[in-house]
Structure 1
Amino acid sequence: MSIKGVCIICLLFLSYNLWAQDSLQVYRQLEQIRSMRPDTAKLSAYLKAGRSNSRYFDQQKQENLFWQEGLLLAHQLHYPKGVAVLYNEIGTSKRNKSLYLIAEDFHEKALKAAEDAKDTLQIVIALNNVGVDCRRQDKLQKAFDYHVRALKLAEQIGDIRNICIATNSIGNIQLSTERYDEAIEHFNKALALEEKSNNPLGMAINLGNLGYAYQSKKKLDLAIQYFKRSLAVNQQLNNPTGMAVCYNALGAAYKEKKEYDHAMVYLQKALEANEKVEDKVHVAESYLNIGKLLGAQGKHEEARKYMQQSIEVSTFWGFKSMLMDAWKGLAEDYKAAGDFKRSLEAADKSLLYKDSILDEKASMAITQMQAIYEVDRKDNQIRALEHDKIINNLRTRRNVIITFFLGAFLLMGFIGGFWYIRHRNLEAKKQTLQLELKSLRSQMNPHFIFNSLSSIHRYIWSNNQEEASDYLTKFSRLMRLILDNTQHTFVTLNKELESLKLYLDLESLRCNGIFECRFFIDAGINEEEVLIPPMILQPYVENAIWHGLVHKQPTEKGLLDIEMLLEKRSLICTITDNGIGRKKAMEIKERKGKAHTSVGMKVTEGRIDLIRKINNKEATVTVTDLEDEQGNATGTQVTIVLPAEFVF
């Protein structure tokens, strides 16, 4: 086997491996999306994956499976906006393959779905898409009407991108219908918008369009100025396709001015630029344009060489339209040189390609009509299946209901009575628990008032009258808050924290500032929406101060940290002090001979137990002794877990 043959086999093998890897990746992604829940998130995943893999499906000449399955899901979800977006994507994909009739059908379906969704942006996008489809099929009046509608709606919602598209398209239609002044007006409007939006590609396109409009009006110098401005922008963008278009346009304009040297310079530049363009039809076009220019100068032998090169490139790549034009150009050149026999032969070949193109267009139109028919038939089948499915489900449901009622009628009395008695007992139990909880909650008022009055008494005897008055003012504010809050089963977190901070201010004054309190509230907590039982934290805060922090050495600063976290459906409140710890506190208590049990702690524990029983949710209190590495007490941590309740 030759080296060339081995190289070809290696390339084929490498191409196959790359294709296999791409296929595996695409289908893995497809299976992953299929496993998702059928909702709008899944639909978005289908849409995104369809866009990223569109080139793969185009290369395989297959329908985009992501978009096909996404479209089916959008119909099942009765989500018209999703239907509109997917129809727009599929239609644009068909237009890029020159299937304009099918593209128009899909974009019209997208328009209907967008109107059903009452989504103005999607309506504008669909209108512009249908307009472009119609313009490509030379349905100029229909295209004009669609773009005018799109322009009006885009201006209403201020969508600059679609305003530019509609304005530019209207200008192109007017250019095609020889309404040059109106076309120039629209191109200038589009150009101004593109400059405002800082979109250089749009600027280049509209500058080129203005050049074509002025060229049509025989204002060649002005046309050349616009072509050069468009060329400058394309050069900044390093856009070889745009540069080649501008070079060709400049060559044609200078040829029309009979400045053949300038024309040749730009056409040669177009040929060089087209070498960097993936679509080789532009290379064939450049050869043909140079050939025609040489023919116009009477350089027939040289002209035919370039035209022959155009024919060779077009034959290799199968560009039938370019072959038709090249043979036609060759026929005209032979005729100009007086070689009528060869001119007739070239003209016959041009006509053969013209007939072939017409046959292909007719065949393609029939194929597209059949494709549209098949798509519509499948859509109707889907609707029919959905309708039959709904009817069958209703029938099945009706039969199940009838069977259930017939079979369960004798048991309903017994079951109903049983559930009624059970419900009544549960309600009675719940009311009992709520009354008990209310009773416990009401016990907090005299308990707290007693402790606070005792503090005031000690404070008055140990401080001056002015400070005692200030203390009493703060105490009265605190009493009002507590009396208001304890009228309710739950209060907002900001109200509870307000009363707790006021209480801590009083205790700090009373203890001569021996401790500092810090609050840490989770950023995800909205204090005005989260609810908490009133006075649920105060007993634990009080316990931390009077059994932990007041016994610290005077040289050590007491710290009390109160932290609030929201995890799933639980509110976690953590109270941490750096006091002497529970063990030392008990020793001090025993030494002083005090056998007093904290009423506040006992009542609060009872409240939390009742909250757990009533709500049937987690509600716990955990006390942790904090120690250092040597086992010495460094404080106490109380963690209170309550069911999260919200205002809404």
Structure 2
Amino acid sequence: MKNEATLTNTSETSVYSMMRTPIMMLLLLTSIHLWSQNEKVVLQKKIKQHTKLDTLKCNLWAELIELEEDPAIWPKYNLELKKILLQIIADQKLQQTSPEWYVRKLFTVLMYEAQDAKWQYGNNAKAIALEFEMLKYAQSIDDAKMICQSYIEIAATYIGQKLYPEAQQYLEKALVVARKSKSESEIALVLNNLGQNYNDLLQPQKAIPLLHESLQLAQKNKLKICINIQNNLGVAYYKLKRFDLAVDHYKQSLKISQELQNTSGIIISYLNIANSLRDNKQYTNAIEYAEQALALSQKINRIPYVEAAYKMLTSLYELSHQPQKALDAFRASTILKDSIINDENKSAILKTEFKYENQKKEAQIKALAQQKKIVELESKRQKTWLYVSLFAAFVLALIGYLMFLRYKTKKQNELLKVQLEETQKTLEAEKKSVQSELKALRSQMNPHFIFNALNSIQEQFMYGDRVLANEQMGNFTTLTRQILDISRKKYISMATEVDVLTKYLELEKMRFADDFSYEITLTDEVDEDYHQIPPMLVQPLVENSIKHGLLHKSGPKKVTICFDYDEAENTLICTVEDNGIGREKALAIKESNTRTHQSFATQATEQTLELLEGEKSTLHYDDLIQAGESVGTRVTLKISLA
């Protein structure tokens, strides 16, 4: 509904009229969902926060309208944007760019509103009023393309009401504007629409030259309307009873439909060709195309097409003197039509008639046989009854046994179903339990991280650069919101993980002088937008490296973080390496403190790994030794994602 409308129109001949609705819906109802629901919420917040009436406000509303696909919601947004644009256009002080920019935005808003009124609610009076308003604004900035589009929209509304002479006036105006602008694509479009309208006005001789010119321009510019133009030419030649030419153009339409794999277009082309061949008395060829239309319609189960194909075949079989086939096709068509109204009742009646006819024929055959062999049958009657009784007893016993087996199988299936449901409930409960534990653990890590980060900022306020501290306080606020957001998720992208680590390390960098540096790398096997990782696993390890490895070290300090995948891409390998004092010295410093402290970060990471994958994920520490001295620590975290 929110796409630009393209005026389409076909002949009222029963076969051709089937094309109008699919083409109109295809061109008018295509809307692409560009972003997620979360991005809609972000846009709504931005609109609420941005109270100024300006270009940015207009663009935000326009983005939200394109994102929203709910037909009950986006028109309300459209009206809000319309109010803003009218205010800005009326007050030059509010205009931040050229007045034409706001008029073009308003033109699109009015077109959306008109199409919604016309196609969603059938309010043609409102639609035509809005379309004339579009024309007024288009003329105010002398925009040829907008003026042409306004005329086309007005004509489309008139055609929808079968007011073809009124539509003709505005299509002719559109053609004048299109030729003046020298836009070949617009000229081709308007010429095609004019040709269609002449067909509806039963003036095909006027339609043909216009459609040929349209086709030439469309083929030159490789436009998609070629299929519609070929079909309209077929209609025009059919109305003039030039059936050979009509078939030629229908076949061109068929060829394009086949290239585009447009099944509905293929069926309609088959029927159009069959119709023209029939009126040209080429019944054999016509039957071939009608049968192809029937087969394809039945394949995709499109009842209206199946019914149309049967009707065509009925007519063709009658004309080609095949009464039985004509009768069969007519019966099939009748059955199909009645099945749409009352499928079950009709099916039951037909079955009863079929059964009655069969029984009647069987009775006649038996009567004839009995007359010939009455003596023989009489002598064997008792023997026959015996066999019949035995056979009936056998059949009853077999039926009873089969029913017993069915009952037994049903009970077994019910038992298995109950067991399966119980198992699923147990697994679901366990899954919810693990998720609850993970959420609880991450909720504990959030204040832990916030406390440590605030300590760093506090040191800057007390002993360092307060301007830098104020700047980092803003970064801390952003990072805190990000941490709180990702802690609710089970997995985040590698790009988000790297962003969080970078912001965190920038905060930690305030603790040190200029001798602290860090490096975050991803190998070629890691796609930062595709691959994902559980949140809040790596940051505690980095925090440990800084707090216990680098804080007590003099000289250059560096933390290196590397993300890699194994060959099977089932395990993410994260390495955190520092050039700190090593675990042994860090432990000694820790024990010398009067207050003992157990590393919450390490403990939280280990518990998270156990809850996620158990033994499949591991955490391993290695001391880096050089010349007998500890020169740092390497922590290797392996996370199974299989």
Q: Give yes or no for TM over 0.5.
A: no
Q: TM-score, normalised by structure 2?
A: 0.41
Q: TM-score, normalised by structure 1?
A: 0.41
The structure number with the bigger radius of gyration is 1
